[in-house]
Amino acid sequence: MSHAQALRALLKGPGVIVAPGMYDALTAHLIAQRNFSCAYLSGASISYSRIGRPDVGLVSLAEVGDVVSHIRERVEIPIIVDADAGFGNALNAQRAVRLLERMGASGIQIEDQTNPKRCGNPADKTLIASAEMVGKIKAAVDARTDPNTVIVARTDAVAVEGFDRAIERANALADAGADMLFVEGPMTLAQMKALGVAFAGRIPLLANMLEGGRMPVATAAELGAIGFKLVIFPAAMARIVSFAAGEYLDALKADGATTRLQSRMVGFDQLNADLGIEALLADGLRYEK
């Protein structure tokens, strides 16, 4: 079974799926090592880690593809890739789908924001016309080399046009051939439940859990009970690593040493073991004989 087929099987299977966010091969490996069934590659996290900038659409398709390729080289689990607004018009979206598929994406997410996008700042968001977004999703579906690749359609209409209009947009995107819907930013639990009712039995729903965001934070089990199939925690990995790195740097600055933090570090030998050094060295020895 290919990784795209595996993602399809997860979406058709029982229960709710938890997809931690990642941003490189190391964080992907940590996720796979702990037996998560799939992972989510956040555009915001790529922007944070790759160029040290907020998520305002500065990351290029080539940069995203490069990250995907490194992750796919390291892990076999399905990965859903945030492709922002498809990096342009419908033709750009098609190119994005083809490239990200080749690099190893199992699912590809496209949204209806304009550039520069606004992540976590709903008051400033603007959207492309619904018809243009429908065209992008149709183009993305047509561009797939593997029919199992999952096309995720995201709309940010709740913050811009209101909840009812977001439902209209989401229906249009489902009709256009999207395999999963991501309605960003419902403001209340009642709105989240209404989404579950509106699309029950028709198309899987993705829930975005952003700590400190406007969407109510719930457990995966609670979200599954009201109709969501996949729950992403897109930026938590980058945020927790940034927190830990800040503590390390503060201690190093103050002490000139890392002694008081060593109990909170993975040991050097343990890290190499976790990353598979013995198998790599054994493979190398086979070619020296």
Q: Is residue 266 located within the same domain as residue 179?
A: no
- Number of domains forming the structure of the chain: 2
Q: Are strands 79-82 and 39-41 parallel, antiparallel or unpaired?
A: parallel
Q: Is residue 212 located within the same domain as residue 262?
A: no
Q: Is residue 173 located within the same domain as residue 257?
A: no
- Of 237, 257, 278, the last residue of a domain is 237
Answer yes or no: is pLDDT of 122 > 90.
Answer: no
The answer to whether the beta carbons of residues 106 and 38 sit under 8 Å apart is: yes
> Contacts by 217-224 with C-beta closer than 8 Å and gap 24+?
218/189, 218/192, 220/16, 220/18, 221/16, 223/16, 223/192, 224/15, 224/16
Determine the structural domain holding residue 72 and report its residue range.
Answer: 3-237
Q: How far apart are CA 22 and CA 20, in angstroms?
A: 7
Residue type, 241: V
In the chain, what is the greatest distance between 2 CA atoms, to the nearest angstrom?
68
Q: Is residue 258 located within the same domain as residue 131?
A: no
Q: Is residue 227 located within the same domain as residue 252?
A: no
Q: Is residue 202 located within the same domain as residue 270?
A: no
Q: Is residue 7 located within the same domain as residue 107?
A: yes
Q: Is residue 268 located within the same domain as residue 183?
A: no
Q: Is residue 179 located within the same domain as residue 246?
A: no
Q: Is residue 126 located within the same domain as residue 249?
A: no
Q: Is residue 36 located within the same domain as residue 179?
A: yes
Answer yes or no: is pLDDT of 88 > 90.
Answer: yes
Q: How far apart are CA 81 and CA 7, in angstroms?
A: 12
Give the mean pLDDT of 252-267. 95
Give the mean pLDDT of 171-192. 96
What is the pLDDT, as a whole number, of residue 123?
Answer: 62
CATH number (domain holding residue 102): 3.20.20.60
What is the pLDDT, as a whole number, of residue 142?
Answer: 98
Answer yes or no: is pLDDT of 125 > 90.
Answer: no
Q: How far apart are CA 228 and CA 30, in angstroms?
A: 25
Answer yes or no: is pLDDT of 282 > 60.
Answer: yes
- Of 237, 252, 276, the last residue of a domain is 237
Q: Is residue 256 located within the same domain as residue 200?
A: no
Burial classification of residue 168, based on how many CB atoms lie within 10 Å of its CB (0-12 exposed, 13-18 middle, 19 or more buried): middle
Of 46, 4, 21, the residue nearest 240 (C-alpha): 21
Where residue 121 falls among pLDDT bands split at 50, 70, 90? low
Higher-pLDDT residue of 115 and 184 is: 184
Of 203, 230, 242, the residue nearest 54 (C-alpha): 242
